[in-house]
């Protein structure tokens, strides 16, 4: 055998693999970078602001060209004056708060009711077969359809308002949780089982945290449904007991044929719905997704 | 090094060294679906693994090696036969790291400690110690997605060790890694196996990996999975995957594996 041949035969001897490992770790570690504020401002904030400005400009243009009469299309300035009128009358915040409080407390109740229903349906097969289609069906039904029934059953009062919110939001929240549980990778459940997380411990340590993103999506949608149902209910049901919320304000201004008040009502409803989503749900959702590495920065 | 884990007396792993075996399978059969309706996946498997032994299960696809590991892990039940693991529920590592993305690296390990009954006060120090063991000290607060594939498998190994079991089942844990990372992890698992006196049952389809790691290589035939042949390997550890001794035995075993696969040619 030639000497080159023997040299090629590697013998078993220790290699300093610890330093190779440290080198690999250093090479392969990704340093997550946060997007700088200026980029966020340019890419995330500027476009919607420009969009709003464009809508206002078109609106103003339509008004100035007198496409229709001012009592049908008031100018943006008229709507602004309606807003300042409310502000000076001191009723702006009470109107907004009446609806927001009703919406949020109804939503909180929907979470308390919808979550156990979602868990039960996702975990118990016969319950799922029986209740699953009903939940999906309820989600498709506009909850405003429940307003007449709610008024007859409960009277024109807060209970009827809450009933309509619940019927709108509970199915969304339950369905979100069910979808979240269904999307949990089976590998996590197997890993949990080998670690000894079975039964309630499995639900608490593995299943629920794993299902959290789907659940949050359900909560977000549940809020949107709560808010819509409530506005529809306030528009339809009028009673001194209910006070004046945003929906009632909108209907009142229609009765006065106050078009700028009507537009203001619409804008305020839109504003509150979007604001709660942006201030409450989106930050929580982004945080959860980011911490799991699920948020891909689109660049 | 002594076992650093403080677990309750009935915790897995207690009394391991006294038994004659760490894992014993007797006449194990496994058929999926109704018995007789389909071909058995495993047929009459008899295998005894001594405490502290490193065994690799080698076989082509369809030989039921992962099924076998699931049975030992208690994730599935054999159709007939008995499986004894006197130390209690063994730890299991997968090809996918299976780390929970909602927890940091350290908290993943702490969860395993918690589920194994380790008290709250000791969990954090023990998790740090296990991370040190896999040379990832300082990665406690790292999220799973911030770690490389090799680092994830090391955290998964630390999490498996946190269970406190001395029997470690590994289901192709390094199959998805690149060659150099796999090589480094081979060194790690051999070092930790020796330090902690673990019993390892390691499933792979990679012959060189099997020879690089094990004291004993068990070759399974396919459909049905049966034990075809066994080799004892006396080469000293740590071995190199590219070494002459590993290469020579790998050639022999590969030839045998080819023979097993050829039996399935339809005539």
Question: ipTM of this model?
Answer: 0.81
Q: Do A187 and B96 touch (CB under 8 A)?
A: yes
Chain A residues touching B180 at Cβ < 8 A? 20, 24
Choose among B68, B149, B156, B69: nearest CA to B105.
B156
Structure tokens at B91: 């730890």
Residue of chain B whose alpha carbon sits nearest to that of A191: B98
Q: Is the peptide bond before B238 cis (omega within 30 degrees of 0)?
A: yes
pLDDT value of residue B266: 66
pLDDT tens, residue by residue, A136-146: 888 888 888 88
Spatial separation of the C-alpha atoms in residues B263 and B266, rounded to whole Å: 8
What local confidence, expressed as pLDDT, does residue B66 receive?
Answer: 85
CB B52 within 8 A of CB B18: no
Helix (H) or strand (E) holding B170: strand B167-171
Beta bridge partners of B80: B29
B176 burial level (CB within 10 Å; 0-12, 13-18, 19+): middle
Residue numbers in A near B235 (CB within 8 A): 12
pLDDT at B220: 87
Whether A87 shows a pLDDT value over 60: the answer reads yes
Distance from C-alpha of B224 to C-alpha of B182, rounded to nearest angstrom: 30
How much is the pLDDT for B6? Answer: 33
Q: Would you tell me how many other CB atoms lie within 10 Å of the CB of residue B84?
A: 14
Compare all CA atoms of chain B with the CA of A6 and give the residue at the minimum distance: B244
Using DSSP, state whether B42 is helix, strand or coil: strand
* Cβ separation B100–A24 shorter than 8 A: no
Q: Which residues, listed in sequence order, are joined to residue B225 by a DSSP beta bridge? A: B42
Count residue pairs from A and B with Cβ separation < 8 A: 111
DSSP 8-class letter at B16? T
Q: What is the pLDDT of residue A240?
A: 80
Residue among B94, B136, B235 minimizing CB distance to A187: B94
Cross-chain Cβ contact A194/B151 below 8 Å: no
Do B102 and A293 make contact, defined as CB atoms within 8 angstroms? no
Pairwise pLDDT comparison (A7 vs B132), residue with the higher score: B132
Which parts of chain B have pLDDT scores under 50?
A: 1-17
Chain B residue with minimum CA distance to A212: B102
> What is the model's pLDDT at position A298?
42
3-state secondary structure A123-175: HCHHHHHHHHHHHHHHHHCCHHHHHHHHHHHHCCCHHHHHHHHHHHHHHHHHH
Half-sphere exposure of residue A214: CA atoms within 13 angstroms, side-chain side: 21
Q: Looking at residues A75-102, what average pLDDT do you find?
A: 93
Strand partners, B203: B57, B171
CA B226 to chain centre: 19
Who wins on pLDDT, A3 or A182? A182
Please indicate whether, in this complex, the C-beta atoms of A291 and B102 are within 8 angstroms of each other.
yes
Partner-chain contact B89 A196, CB within 8 Å: yes
The pLDDT of residue B35: 61
Between these two residues, A107 and A7, which has the higher pLDDT value? A107
How high is the pLDDT of residue A71? 85
Local confidence band at A12 (pLDDT 50, 70, 90 cut-offs): low
Q: Which residues of B touch A288 (CB under 8 A)?
A: 102
A206 vs B contacts (CB less than 8 Å): 100
B150 interfaces chain A, CB cutoff of 8 Å: yes
The separation between CA B178 and the C-alpha centre of its own chain, rounded to angstroms, equals: 19
From chain A, the residues in CB contact with B243 under 8 A are 10-12
Asked if B98 lies within 8 A of A195 by C-beta distance, the reply is no
Structure tokens of A208? 């629920």
From the list A12, A21, A190, the residue facing B240 with the nearest CB is A12
Residue among B92, B111, B180 minimizing CB distance to A24:
B180
B164/B175 Cα distance (integer angstroms): 25
Residues of chain B contacting A18 with CB distance shorter than 8 Å: 135
Least confident of A2-11, A159-168, B194-203, B220-229: A2-11
Q: Which of A245, A191, A244, A235 is closest to B111 using CA atoms?
A: A191
Q: Do the Cβ atoms of A293 and B101 come within 8 Å?
A: yes
Which chain A residue lies closest to B246 (C-alpha atoms)? Answer: A12
Six-digit token string for B231: 């080799």
Q: What are phi and psi of A66, to 5 degrees?
A: 55, 50
Q: Mean pLDDT over all residues of chain A?
A: 87
Q: Which residue of B has its CA nearest to A201?
A: B115
CB of A165 closer than 8 Å to CB of A107: yes
Task: Give how far B18 is from chain A: nearest CA, Å.
Answer: 24
- Cβ–Cβ under 8 Å, residues B79 and A271: no
Asked if B159 reaches chain A (Cβ–Cβ under 8 Å), the answer is yes
Work out the minimum CA distance from B254 to partner chain A, whole angstroms.
Answer: 19
Arithmetic mean of pLDDT, A245-266: 92
What's the confidence (pLDDT) of residue A169? Answer: 92
pLDDT in tens, A40-68: 888 888 888 999 999 999 999 999 998 88
């Amino acid at each position: 055998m030639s000497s080159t041949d023997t040299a090629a035969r590697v013998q078993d001897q220790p290699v300093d693999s610890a330093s190779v490992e440290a080198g690999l770790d250093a090479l392969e570690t990704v340093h997550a970078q946060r997007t700088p504020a200026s980029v966020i401002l340019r890419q995330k904030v500027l476009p919607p602001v420009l969009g709003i400005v464009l809508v206002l400009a078109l609106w103003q243009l339509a008004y100035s060209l007198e496409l229709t009469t001012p009592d049908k299309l008031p100018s943006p300035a008229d709507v602004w004056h309606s807003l300042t009128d409310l502000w000076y009358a001191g009723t702006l915040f009470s109107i907004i708060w009446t609806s927001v409080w009703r919406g949020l407390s109804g939503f909180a109740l929907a979470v308390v009711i919808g979550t156990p229903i979602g868990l039960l349906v996702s975990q118990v097969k016969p319950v799922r077969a029986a209740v699953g289609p009903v939940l999906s069906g309820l989600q498709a039904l506009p909850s405003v359809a429940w307003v007449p029934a709610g008024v007859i059953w409960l009277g024109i009062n807060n209970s009827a308002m809450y009933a309509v919110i619940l019927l709108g939001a509970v199915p969304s929240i339950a369905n979100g949780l069910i979808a979240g549980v269904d999307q949990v990778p089976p590998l996590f459940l197997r890993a949990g089982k080998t670690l000894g997380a079975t039964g309630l411990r499995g639900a608490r340590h593995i299943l629920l945290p794993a299902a959290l993103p789907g659940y949050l999506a359900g909560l977000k949608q549940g809020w949107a449904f709560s808010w819509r149902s409530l506005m529809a209910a306030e528009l339809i049901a009028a009673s001194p007991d209910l006070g004046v919320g945003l929906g009632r304000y909108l209907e009142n201004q229609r009765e006065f044929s106050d078009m700028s008040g009507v537009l203001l009502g619409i804008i305020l409803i839109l504003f509150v719905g979007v604001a709660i989503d942006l201030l409450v749900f989106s930050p929580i959702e982004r945080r959860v997704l980011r911490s799991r590495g699920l948020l891909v920065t689109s660049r | 090094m002594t076992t650093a884990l403080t677990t309750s007396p009935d915790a897995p792993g207690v009394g391991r060294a006294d038994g004659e075996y760490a894992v014993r399978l007797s006449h194990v059969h496994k058929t999926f679906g109704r018995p007789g309706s389909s071909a058995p996946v495993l047929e009459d498997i008899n295998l005894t693994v001594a405490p502290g032994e490193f065994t690799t299960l080698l076989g082509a696809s369809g030989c039921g090696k992962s099924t076998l590991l699931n049975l030992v892990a208690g994730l599935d039940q054999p159709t007939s036969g008995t499986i004894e693991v006197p130390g209690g529920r063994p730890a299991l590592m997968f090809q996918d790291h299976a780390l929970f993305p909602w927890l940091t690296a350290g908290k993943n390990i702490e969860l395993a400690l918690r589920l194994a009954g380790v008290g709250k006060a000791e969990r954090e120090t023990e998790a740090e110690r296990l991370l040190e063991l896999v040379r990832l000290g300082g990665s406690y607060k790292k999220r799973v997605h911030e770690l490389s594939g090799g680092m994830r498998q090391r955290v998964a190994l630390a999490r498996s060790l946190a269970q406190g079991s001395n029997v470690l089942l590994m289901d192709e844990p390094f199959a998805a890694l690149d060659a150099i990372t796999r090589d480094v992890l081979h060194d790690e698992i051999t070092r930790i196996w020796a330090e902690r006196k673990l019993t390892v049952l390691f499933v792979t389809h990679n012959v060189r990996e099997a020879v690089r790691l094990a004291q004993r290589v068990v070759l399974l035939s396919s459909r049905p999975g049966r034990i075809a042949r066994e080799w004892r390997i006396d080469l000293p550890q740590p071995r190199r995957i590219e070494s002459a001794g590993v290469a020579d035995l790998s050639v022999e075993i590969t030839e045998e594996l080819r023979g097993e696969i050829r039996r399935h040619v339809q005539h």
